[in-house]
Amino acid sequence: MSILKNPADIEVGVVGIGLMGSSIIVCLLASGHRVKAIAPIGADFVNAKKRIKDQLINCDQAGLLPKTIPHCLDMLEISMDYNILANCGLVMECVIEDINIKKQVYKKITDVVAGNTIVSSNTSAIAITILQKLVAGPERFIGIHFAEPAYATRFLEITCGEVTDTNYANWVFALAHCWGKEPTLLRKDIKGFITNRLMYAVYREIFHLIDNGKTNMEDADKAFRYDVGSWITLMGLFRRIDYCGWEDHAVMFKKLFPQLSNAEYVPEVMGDIVAQNGRGIQNLNGLYTYSPREAKDWEEAFAVFNEEIFRLAASYPVSYSRKERILVSS
């Protein structure tokens, strides 16, 4: 596929207008795309425009919206009719993690779009290789995994399935820079993709230490925030090793790897919270205790922090040309 430099020339469809879908829509509108948004169910359609407008307001207040809110809304069409996707060059599925529902959505998408329209999923739970088997023209199917809020984070993970044509992935990789992203391209589909595998390895180890009385949640969080948090956005993992020196890391790998947890069970405390329908700050039932005011404070702090870290990360970007060389040579 030829790479178009102007997002205004590319219509993008988004199916699913929940929290994540509406956030992605705002990211696309802020980047200059015309967006065709599909509400798969009537309940989503009723409040869709308000939900998107509220996120546009947040994006504007953060100084991340180049155009006016009315202009962005003029670039948006919301419907339950999949036929509005007909001219889209890319369609993103953002529905619940139910493979049968996704299958129905893909059928409705591919019935109306062109044969070379890229179809993608924002899934973080189902392998792209499995999902692409449900799509007519599976070679054009990829994973495009955003972080929340999509308009104020630089993370984007693009994942190929077993039969994905990498020309489609390369096209999205190039376009993602127009969305303000520092994208990664995973050419081989693995369960959990990159970011989830890294984070869940950390979760497993910290629950292991807590379960064995080695530390507590408060101290573990402080250690992670004020050590890893002080360098991770700037360096990532491998530049950190280069910066600190390989000799010490090699010694620590040898000493620590045999001591790390390889547990395969869900930690008991997490199982208990799930059984109680705990949803953290959303219903004040999580690993920590929250008052309604504290939960609201954390929501607001997270929004402000995302804006600040978005700008900070932009001050220290990876060289675009270097990224292109890595992509082509892999």
Separation of alpha carbons 7 and 26, rounded Å: 14
Q: How far apart are CA 294 and CA 304, in angstroms?
A: 15
pTM of the complete model: 0.79
User: Rounded to an integer, what distance in angstroms lies between the CA atom of residue 123 and that of residue 103?
Assistant: 13
Query: What confidence score (pLDDT) does residue 282 get?
Result: 84
Give every residue of the chain whose pLDDT is below 50, as ranges: 320-330
Closest CA relative to residue 48, chosen from 80, 81, 3: 80
Q: Say if CB 212 and CB 267 are below 8 A apart.
A: no
Tell me how crowded residue 319 is: count the other CB atoms within 10 A of its CB: 9
Contact yes or no for 183/171 (Cβ under 8 A)? no
Amino acid (one-letter) located at 295: A
Query: For 3-55, what is the HEC assignment?
Result: CCCCHHHCEEEEECCCHHHHHHHHHHHHCCCEEEEECCCHHHHHCHHHHHHHH
Q: Can you list the domains of the chain with their CATH numbers?
A: 9-191 (3.40.50.720), 196-314 (1.10.1040.10)
| Cis, peptide link before residue 149, omega less than 30° from 0 | yes
Rounded to whole angstroms, the Cα distance separating 84 from 36 reads 7
φ, ψ of residue 56 in degrees (nearest 5): -65, -40
With beta carbons less than 8 A apart as the criterion, state whether 14 and 8 touch.
no
**DSSP SS3 for 240:** helix
* Strand, helix or coil for residue 80: coil
